[in-house]
Structure 1
Amino acid sequence: MLIYKAMVSVNKQLNKLVTIPFPHLEAGINSLNKAGELMAIAGAKKAMIVTGRSSSAAIIPALCNSLDEHGIDYAIFNQVMPDPTIATVATGADFYKQFHCDSIIALGGGSPIDCAKVIGAKVVRDRPVRTMAGKLKIRRKLPPFLAIPTTAGTGSEATVAAVVSDPAARQKFAIVDPALLPDYAIIDPKLMIGLPQDMTAATGMDALTHAVEAFIGTYNTPLSDKYARQAIEKIFEFLPKAYNNGQDLEAREQMAMASYEAGCAFTRAFVGYVHAIAHQLGGMYHIPHGQANAILLPEVLRLLHPYCKARLEELANVIGLNNGSEFIDAVVELNKKLNIPNGFPELKAEDITLISQRALAEAHGTYPVPGYLSQSQCERLLKQFLVVTPEKAAPDVEASKKALTEHAEG
């Protein structure tokens, strides 16, 4: 553990030497119409539009019309699925070259934006995607890059990170480099009107997790604290409103800005154990990232409370509460309002040791966590999220009762 602490201390000092800019931001209703103007300013002639197959039929034509108005050609790559894979990135880089593109527009949630980032990285580096994992492996300017989020959660339009899935290893890995930061970002709340309730909830809780982990980690700065506080205040007020009324443009706009602010916070101060564990659950079982974060967040905070009591009290004050315990309880209540489940039916007891090992390796090797969890603590944490289903239940009734008793005692 001393080695991890030393690494974090060194990285904290190095982190201060890295200047992270902000994307040029256009925000507000109908700001999508500025896409063509921004790409023209960037000197783009033919843009690769990276998006998912489920992108709204109304959004793509509006984006293309804006590009047409400024004489910019485009080619649409709509093969991005949730948890983009190494293969999708490689296919995307080939697509970019095949259609002679000179710029990239990412349209969608975190998956298309992250995928577009790594496509850009592979275009300029032309090396296996897996070798880009970790920090500062790109170090080359990407092609002109515009990010247009259609969910309010990942904040990827404001970050220097991208997450890619390796299906063969049943694992996700992060690529972190200032080169991945988009040049431009458009935040148009109208693009989020059609977002389903469950996705509104999960992505909103993802943004909350970004802000909270950035605030309690040891890399926090006055700037990251400012963005984290702003995001947390907005999320507690406007996420239930956006969830209950998806047509509420004010709530959508406030949540979109909260997501951006949380992204600004964690790209400078990093995240922590919640993300480390959620990445493993996503890589192994394809559990939606935001939902995994939401379920894990309050219980991870309970374990870390002794190490960051004062910081959690500050967050409690942001939303009008008195102490860290009340803040954690408020997160639990928010999950309930959003109908977030309280366990992982996909989780298998036999996978818990491996998940814990991978999560701790990611957290201790990358994130400035406020206190350190052991392997046994992480395993106990995960065991409480086991959900007994008919498929998992043992045929022997007595054996099932014994297993449940042991789980409750553990």
Structure 2
Amino acid sequence: MLLYKTIIGINKQLNKLVNIPFTQLESGADSLTKAGELMSSVGAKKAMIVTGRSSSMAIMPQLCESLKAHDIDYAIFNQVMPDPTIATVANGADFYKQFECDSIIAIGGGSPIDCAKVIGAKVVKDRPVRTMAGKLKIRRKLPPFLAIPTTAGTGSEATVAAVITDPSAQQKLAIIDPVLLPDFAILDPKLMTSLPPAMTAATGMDALTHAIEAYIGTYHTTLSDNYATEAIQKIFTNLPIAYENGQDLKAREEMAWASYEAGCAFTRAFVGYVHAIAHQLGGIYHIAHGQANAVLLPGVLRLLQPYCRQRLDNLADIIGLTGGDAFIEAVSNLNKQLNIPEGFKELKAEDIPMIAKRALEEAHGTYPVPGYLSQKQCEQLLHSLLIEETEEEALTV
């Protein structure tokens, strides 16, 4: 582990030298109407709108009208699916060139925003997506870029990272470069009111994981701590409300801000083991990222508690509890309140050694984890999350 600690120590110092700007924000109900004004301010004439196939019919007309009002043409690329792939990025870059676009607008959850980031990277630096994986592999400004999240979870509108799936390798590729940070973001709570409860829960827990992992990791700073703790307070207060009543605009807006703040925290202080394991589960079984994070989070925190006891005690204080044990229990109880599963039906016991190995390879030397887990610990955690298929379920397959 000495080698990993040395690498992380060096990277910590290098990380301080990297300037990470902040996205220019518009927020509040009906702030979507500002899209045209924002894109016009950077001279956009034809925007590529990157979105998913299920994008709301109520949202797209509002966006398009705002663009038209500022004489901005657009072309809609709606091929993004959950866990966007290398092929989707390539198709998107071809689309951008074919329709002679000069700017990008991403609207949707983390998948469209991440996909749009890498499309932009491929447009300005035409190289295989696999070779962009890692840190600082792009280093060329993207076209003018507006991110419009419709979920409160990934915080991708605030981050310098994007995750793309490589189906052939059953892996997710993390691409990290400050040029991936969107120029603008719109946080409009009205775009989130139709989000189903299960997705509200999963994306909200994704944001909570970002904030917690940023706070307990060794790259944390006063700035990242402030963002992380603000996000954690908002999530514990507002996520249950948004889950129970999706039409509550105040809770939706608070969650949008929490997602953004958590994004600001982890883009400066990074994530940890929860994400490393979740990436493997997503790449192999296509388990939704937010749900994977939520299921893994309490168990990973219990394993890491000996290495970050004071930090977890601090988080307990922030939400009005005493001690790290109480904080971990609060996370577990929040999962229960949101009807998050206690394990993974998709997980296969025979895959666990490979998943653990890949997760540790991703985490060690990359993420500033507070302490190091062993292969055995990681495997034991995954075994504890196996869910046996019932005989009734087997008969319905």
- Counterpart-to-counterpart distance in 2, 1:41 and 1:57: 26
Aligned to 1:139: 139
Aligned to 2:326: 326
Aligned to 2:300: 300
Aligned to 2:151: 151
TM-score between both structures, scaled by the size of structure 2: 0.98
* 1:36-115 alignment runs, 5 A limit: 36-115=36-115
- Runs of 5+ consecutive residues of structure 1 not aligned to the other structure: 395-410
- Counterpart-to-counterpart distance in 1, 2:114 and 2:47: 17
> Is structure 2 residue 191 aligned with structure 1 residue 191?
yes
- Counterpart-to-counterpart distance in 2, 1:391 and 1:127: 49
- Counterpart-to-counterpart distance in 2, 1:39 and 1:388: 51
Aligned to 1:16: 16
TM-score between both structures, scaled by the size of structure 1: 0.95
- Counterpart-to-counterpart distance in 2, 1:353 and 1:229: 34
Which whole-Å deviations, capped at 9, do the CAs of 1:172-225 have from their partners, x for residues lacking one? 110000000000000000000000000000000000000000000000000000
- Counterpart-to-counterpart distance in 1, 2:375 and 2:248: 44
Secondary structure in structure 2 of the residue aligned to 1:373: coil
- Counterpart-to-counterpart distance in 2, 1:168 and 1:265: 32
Aligned to 2:125: 125
Contact 2:50 2:76 in 1 (8 A): yes
RMSD: 1.1
* 1:184-223 alignment runs, 5 A limit: 184-223=184-223
Secondary structure in structure 1 of the residue aligned to 2:312: helix
Contact 2:272 2:368 in 1 (8 A): yes
Aligned to 1:224: 224
- Counterpart-to-counterpart distance in 2, 1:179 and 1:308: 32
Number of residue-to-residue matches in the alignment: 394
State the 4+ residue runs in structure 1 displaced beyond 2 angstroms. 390-394
Quote the sequence identity (%): 77
How big is the shift at 1:390? 4.3
- Counterpart-to-counterpart distance in 1, 2:365 and 2:304: 18
The 3 A distance-change label for structure 1 pair 41 and 228 is same
How big is the shift at 1:365? 2.7
How big is the shift at 1:366? 1.1
Secondary structure in structure 1 of the residue aligned to 2:364: helix
The 3 A distance-change label for structure 1 pair 149 and 233 is same
How big is the shift at 1:392? 12
- Counterpart-to-counterpart distance in 2, 1:391 and 1:40: 59
- Counterpart-to-counterpart distance in 2, 1:224 and 1:187: 20
- Counterpart-to-counterpart distance in 1, 2:388 and 2:343: 10
- Counterpart-to-counterpart distance in 1, 2:97 and 2:282: 30
Q: Which amino acid aligns with 2:188?
A: D
Contact 2:224 2:264 in 1 (8 A): yes
Which whole-Å deviations, capped at 9, do the CAs of 1:228-265 have from their partners, x for residues lacking one? 00000000000000000000000000000000000000
Aligned to 1:181: 181
How big is the shift at 1:2? 1.0
Contact 2:5 2:365 in 1 (8 A): no
